[in-house]
Amino acid sequence: MGRVVARGELAGIIKYEKKVGKKVVFTNGCFDLIHIGHIRYLREARGKGDILIVAVNSDSSTRKLKGNSRPVVPQEERAEILSSFYFVDYVIIFPEDTTEELINLLQPHILVKGGDYKSKEIAERKAMKKVGGEVIIASEVNKHSTQSLLERIGASQRKTIK
């Protein structure tokens, strides 16, 4: 099981892990309502290396990205849920719009983005190039998103009320 860690602590841990030859994989997202698409994506990311770091958008950055009705689940709970997966080593909460600052600090070997991303859309591409890392786009998991899950819940509630 992983751990939720602070920025400074994680930097020290990753420096050591790299020193002993571990391949560090980094990914990020809101992970608001965990669904099978998240699980498959994170397992795929973990398969790219020895250590998986998951950076979770803070509540404020999630609202900025997804709107005022999100997140549904508070950042501390999202981080704790992610840290409970056997394939996640470290979780960190970040308030910035992108993870460029974390990438510059941690210098992971690989950045994995979800299959719904196009290469040109990845804001952290330049930061990864600067630190000598690689960007990989995971397999797309169709029909699985937090938004579609929320829509299904809403539709289900509307049917129940009628």
Domain total in the chain? 1
Q: What is the CATH number of the domain that holds 21?
A: 3.40.50.620
pLDDT at position 81: 97
78 vs 138 pLDDT, higher one: 78
Cα 108 to Cα 24, 69, 74, 91, 131, distances in angstroms: 5, 32, 27, 14, 8
pLDDT tens per residue across span 11-66: 999 999 999 999 999 999 999 989 888 999 999 999 999 999 999 999 999 999 98
pLDDT tens per residue across span 67-90: 998 999 999 999 999 999 999 999
Give the span between the Cα atoms of 28 and 57, in whole angstroms: 7
Q: What is the mean pLDDT of residues 86-99?
A: 97
Give the span between the Cα atoms of 144 and 63, in whole angstroms: 20
Domain extent, residue 19, equals 3-161
140 vs 26 pLDDT, higher one: 26
The pTM for the full model equals: 0.88
The pLDDT confidence band at residue 158, using thresholds 50, 70 and 90, is low
